Structure 1
Amino acid sequence: MTFVVTEACIRCKYTDCVDVCPVDAFREGPNFLAIDPDECIDCAVCVPECPVAAIYAEGDVPANQQSFIALNAELSREWKPITRTKLALPDADEWAKVEAKLGELKR
Structure 2
Amino acid sequence: MNDLESWLVQYETDVRFPDVSGMEHLDMLLTRSRLAAVWQELTPEQQDRLSDADQRLLYHAEQFYQAIVAVADLAQWRNESAASPEEWWWYLDVLTNVPQFLVTGD
Which structure has more relative contact order (CA 8 Å, sep 6+)? It is: 1
Higher Cα Rg: structure 1 or 2?
2
Task: Give the helix-richer structure, 1 or 2.
Answer: 2
What is the TM-score of this pair, normalised by structure 2? 0.28
* Greater percentage in strand: 1
